[in-house]
Amino acid sequence: MENTTPSSVLTEADLKEKVVQAIKTVYDPEIPVDVYELGLIYEIKIFPVNNVYVLMTLTSPSCPSAESIPVDIEKAIREIEGVAEVSVELTFDPPYSQDMMSEVAKLELGFM
């Protein structure tokens, strides 16, 4: 029997996985790797009634995409059925470093 549970009753873990998948559709326009694999996402929290909070950074405070990347992430998360509110907060503490990249990103960019 197929699972027909409505998305409004997604478990926190299921919703968090959907949020990660949505974030992985967002790319830094100058780097051919999604922002999640780049290590730009510091924290994802799911609060009651499917409110999503994302704490993120950018590769540099002067990143030319500083305006668009957080907006693109918020848009991608809002498209998930059942999500109520989305809050994306930008921080530069700790500062971004290439060590934050996943192995996938390092391979893609030739760092390994």
Task: Please report the pLDDT score of residue 25 as a whole number.
Answer: 97
Give per-residue pLDDT as tens, 58-108: 988 888 888 899 999 999 999 999 999 999 999 999 999 999 999 999 999
pTM: 0.87
- How many structural domains compose the chain? 1
The enclosing domain of 65 has a CATH number of 3.30.300.130
Assigned domain for 80 exists:
yes
Assigned domain for 1 exists:
no
**Mean pLDDT across the stretch 31-42?**
94
Assigned domain for 12 exists:
no
Domain of 72 in residue numbering reads as: 19-102
Residue 65 backbone dihedrals phi, psi, to 5 degrees: -100, 15
Q: Is the pLDDT of residue 35 over 60?
A: yes
Assigned domain for 34 exists:
yes
Q: Is the pLDDT of residue 1 over 80?
A: no
